[in-house]
Amino acid sequence: MLDKRLWTETRKHRLLMALTIGLAFLGGVFTVAQAYWMSQVISDVFLQQATLAAVQRPMALLLGVMVLRAVALFGTELSANYLAIVIKSNLRQRLLAHILALGPGYTQSESSGELSNTLMEGVEHLEKYFSEYLPQIFISALIPLTILFSVFSLDLLSGLVLLFTAPLIPYFMVLIGRATEALTQRQWTSLSRLSAHFLDVVQGLVTLKALGRSKQQATTVRIISDQYAQATLGVLRVAFLSALVLELLATISTAIIAVQVGLRLLYGGLDFAPALFLLILAPEFYQPLRNLGARFHAGAEGVAAANRIFEVFETPLPEKSLIAPKGTLSDFASIQFKHVSLSYQERSQLALSDISFEINKGQKVALVGASGAGKSSIANLLMRFVDPQEGQIVVDGSDLQKIDRAIWRNQIAWVPQFPHLFFDSLAANIAFGHPDATQEQIEAAARDAELDDFIQSLPDGYATQVGERGLRLSGGQSQRVALARAFLRNPNFLILDEPTAHLDPQTETQLQKAIRRLMKERTTLIIVHRLDTVVDADQILVFSDGRIVQGGTHTELLEQEGIYRQLQQSFVGSP
């Protein structure tokens, strides 16, 4: 079972693989030499009555060969393990880079727990494939061939017995392997499901406790764990059965060699020294094939994990940018949406349909509408998290899809509705988008975001550790951290996605002060539900079912019959 995709990964490290195989081959040569000198010494001492002095030289050669064989075997194992480590490290880095390149559009449609399991445990499952199974395939061919050549040169009948019995072991191994393929894939799927569900439970523990559902989830985890255990036991049952069959075949084959050699030795058809040489080599001939059978299931587990890994690799990346923007992006004059339509893979309905509008430099453009109307999809397009299926987004005459993502995103600061905070210090979380920032710059950004006083009140100040997803901070404090990040990036283009949603009036007032400071002299796109924050916007676009149904200033839209006036009346509570 040689997986072509994994073999391609191995070929990138030819020298290490060649070293592993070469050392294993030398080990086989030394095995033959060891059997030869051992048979000679025993024959001389017990049949020829040779003295210690007479066998000193062959004994020294035997000892030297044994040491060389041990060194070769140790070197083979060391080289194989290093090969596995190098390939795993390379695969993990590439897999992470590929997932990052796929972006939020891909990860949001996948289970984060399952992706984490693939990245960590999936790659880890490949270790035995590269360190044990793959080298053993070549060892199982080279060492038996070396021994077979030596036996044929000495005794034709024994060579024929070895030649015809050897294929039985890999034949039965393949038959059993076909039965285990579905079982190992089921085992890997169960492990991925367990990892994904467990991560969901840990992340949602507060909600589970609040709703009194934690015990039920513990029961669900136990059920999934039992399914994984049953799948693992199924694989182990087949593994033990296959080990029994392969050991039985190897033992019977060795016995056939021993019987025919013993009979011929008894009736004078074979001398003692070559007979002993053949008897010593017979188990060594079958041992690599037995080892291959024992490691076959490690190979099957590796292939099962590789199926998911390469499924991620085979997910096509977004098209690469082909051109640089005209001039410098800091001087861009306009961003134009031209008949843009967008749909997500998991949805049949269009998220955006035939959207056209323009954002000019220095403008404050607001997007309003009900939840699910398509406002956040505009932000996703501008951040290049997704690309439109139809139409174009044009920045000063250049298609946004052909502008380098890194260059474009470097001009943007995004303040989402629920900013993600990492398990790190407050200073590190603020400087996340600007890792080279000095402590003075971090503190200045915090002051601009109305956050410095709060941080200074903490015992550890800016070194205070923030829980994962900001669990140790309030919603308003998390939003201030996001605003501080934006101040620190000093962007040319600002995207605010519901920055004051779900906050109390006092906190919202404080945040609005910081937001107005942040928007000053910057091109800004604001996504909101609460209309009091967009009264001064240069342009307000009203979305409904993925379309722009109204557009204009606050005053202009209030004079029109439509969704905006209805939203305003609902907000102020007027009839």
- CATH at 552: 3.40.50.300
Tokens of 41: 């010494």
Res 328: pLDDT: 46
- Residue 299, in any domain of the structure: yes
Q: What is the pLDDT of residue 554?
A: 87
Q: What is the CATH number of the domain that holds 85?
A: 1.20.1560.10
319 domain-assigned: no
Domain endpoint, select from 279, 313, 347 = 313
Domain count within the chain: 2
In a domain? residue 484: yes
C-alpha torsion sign, points 237, 242, 248, 250: negative
* Within a domain: 35: yes
Closest by CA position to 286, among listed 333, 249, 239, 329: 249
Residue 318 in any domain: the answer is no
CA separation for the pair 69, 503 (Å, rounded): 73
pLDDT < 50: residue spans in the chain: 325-328, 574-575
* Position 321 in a domain: no
Burial class of residue 574 in the structure, from the number of CB atoms within 10 Å of its CB (0-12 exposed, 13-18 middle, 19+ buried): exposed
Looking at the structure, do residues 305 and 346 belong to the same domain, yes or no?
A: no
Helix (H, G, I), strand (E, B), or coil: what is residue 503? coil
Same domain, 374 and 470: yes
- Boundary residue ending a domain (262, 283, 313): 313
pLDDT value at residue 574: 43
Whether residues 275 and 366 fall in one domain: no
pLDDT 10s digits, 220-242: 777 878 877 887 787 777 777 77
Phi then psi dihedrals of residue 49, to 5 deg? 55, 40
Question: Do 192 and 111 share a structural domain?
Answer: yes
Note whether 301 and 380 are same-domain residues. no
Give the model confidence (pLDDT) of 493-533 as tens digits: 889 887 776 666 677 777 788 888 888 888 899 988 767 77
Q: Quick one: 267 and 343 in the same domain?
A: no
Structural domain including 196 reads 4-313
DSSP lists the bridge partners of residue 526 as 366, 496
Torsions phi, psi for 402 (to 5 deg): -105, 5
Ramachandran area for residue 222 (φ above 0: left; ψ -120 to 50: alpha; else beta):
alpha
Q: Could you give the CA distance from residue 275 to residue 260 in angstroms, rounded to a whole number? A: 10
For 375, the 3-state DSSP assignment is: helix
Report yes or no on 323 lying in a domain. no
- 298/348 same-domain check: no
Do the Cβ atoms of 125 and 185 come closer than 8 Å?
no
